[in-house]
Amino acid sequence: MVLILFAVFVVWRIDSPRVERFRAEVIDRVVPSFDWAMAPLTGTVHLFTEFQSYRRLVEQNRDLRRELQQMKAWKEAALQLEQENAKLRDLNNVRLDPALTYITGVVLTDSGSPFRQSVLINVGSRDGIMDGWPAMDGIGLIGRISGLGNETARVLLLTDTSSRIPILIQPSGQHAMLTGDNTNSPLIEFLENPDLVRPGDRVVSSSDGGVFPADLLVGQVVLGSDGRLRVRLSADYERLEFLRVLRSQPRESILDPGALIAPRDTSQSTDAAQPEEPASAEGTNG
């Protein structure tokens, strides 16, 4: 029996994707059938944790009112900026990517282990989800789909030790990798010039390598207590309940150099491909 179990391990080591697919399938069969027990239990636990905060309800309410007042001012500013932005975009003839639509799923379970950071959501390949698509809560990036069943999909959180995504740090335009290390704030690695990056800078995803759509909000740069640059994530990891999975289409890539330099026949026209290039180049730069 021990030999059989170790054989399973060896098979996993040799042919990991197949076994992981099997794992996804098993979870896909079992977990949705336990939904009836899990949903009320989770709800009850949340009820109890929230009950503790009722005692501080009055002061919380006051704080919220004050915050709301500030937010109204910000909202006004944002509206004005949005209009200005729209006007400028119109002047510059910028094309935004219209393909970013999303599917919303509910979190079923977490990974159940303190060393793995992932959640299982209740949408899967039945809903057209594909491996590698990014998942967000309302605000920021949460992770990406890694492991797909028919009715469930596993979202690998940015905090997991095996999570690596390409990022762009906003005012300075520096490219880097965001590396999860099982803490609340993932690490920034492979930064070209750390001097240009300050705590408080905005971090967004970048489309380097064609893995992710660009310009999804990730968080803010902070200086960790160990003196390394980390990212405080914008998404609310405390309460993951509903996740949006973005449909990300693979980016069109430009393979041939075109006929700009090479001599060409006058009879063949490659002009039809020309207007596409500046637009997609702009898209990649964000």
Partner 1 sequence: MAEPTSARRWVGRVIFPLLVAAIALVQLLPIRTTPTIFPMPDVILCLTCLWVARRPDLVPVWIVAGIFLLSDIFFQRPPGLMAGLVVILTEVLRRRASALRSMSFVAEWTIVGVGIVALTIANRSVLIIALADRAPLGPVMLQLMLTVMIYPALAFANMIAFGINRPGLGEVDAFGRPL
CB atoms within 10 A of CB 274: 12
Identified binder of partner 1 from the candidate list 17, 33, 36, 37, rule CB under 8 A: 37
Among 240, 245, 246, 283, binds partner 1 (CB under 8 A): 240
Strands (E), 191-260: 202-205, 217-223, 229-233, 242-246
Q: Is residue 163 close enough to count as binding partner 1 by CB under 8 A?
A: no
Does 21 contact partner 1 by CB under 8 A? no
Stretch of 62-70, 90-98, 157-165, 220-228 lying at the interface with partner 1 (CB under 8 A)? 157-165
45 near partner 1, rule: CB under 8 A: yes
Alpha-carbon distance of 244 to 139, in angstroms, equals 10
Tell which one of 17, 112, 227, 263 touches partner 1 (CB under 8 A). 112
Determine, following the binding rule CB under 8 A, whether residue 114 of this chain makes contact with partner 1: yes
Lookup result for tokens 């660009």: 214
Residue 238, token pair as written in the block:
């405390």
* Residue 168 or 243 having the CB closest to partner 1: 243
Supply the minimum distance, in Å, between the C-beta of residue 114 and partner 1.
3
Spatial contact of 209 and 225, defined as CB atoms under 8 Å apart = no
Closest CB to partner 1 among 146 and 174? Answer: 146
For residue 150, state whether it binds partner 1 (rule: CB under 8 A). Answer: no
Residue choice 50, 59, 226, 238 for contact with partner 1 (CB under 8 A):
238
> Binding to partner 1 by residue 46, rule CB under 8 A?
yes
Q: How many residues bind partner 1 (CB under 8 A)?
A: 50
Q: How far is the C-alpha of 227 from the C-alpha of 198, rounded, in Å?
A: 12
Q: Which of 152, 159, 174, 206 binds partner 1 (CB under 8 A)?
A: 159
Using alpha carbons, select from 143, 149, 199 the residue that is nearest to residue 33: 149
For position 5 contacting partner 1 by CB under 8 A, the verdict is yes
* Beta-carbon contacts of residue 202 (< 8 Å; ≥ 6 apart): 169, 170, 171, 217, 220, 221
139 forms part of the interface with partner 1 (CB under 8 A): no
- Tell me which amino acid residue 217 is: L
19 binds partner 1 (CB under 8 A): yes
Give the nearer residue to partner 1 in terms of CB position, either 108 or 188.
108
Binding residue for partner 1, selected from 38, 77, 81, 86, defined by CB under 8 A:
38
Q: Does 8 bind partner 1 (CB under 8 A)?
A: yes
Kindly tell me which of 182 and 284 has the beta carbon lying closer to partner 1. 182
Residue 23 binds partner 1 (CB under 8 A) = yes
Task: Write out the residues near partner 1 by the rule CB under 8 A.
Answer: 1-2, 5-13, 19, 23, 26-27, 30-31, 34, 37-38, 41-42, 45-46, 107-119, 157, 159, 161-162, 181-184, 237-241
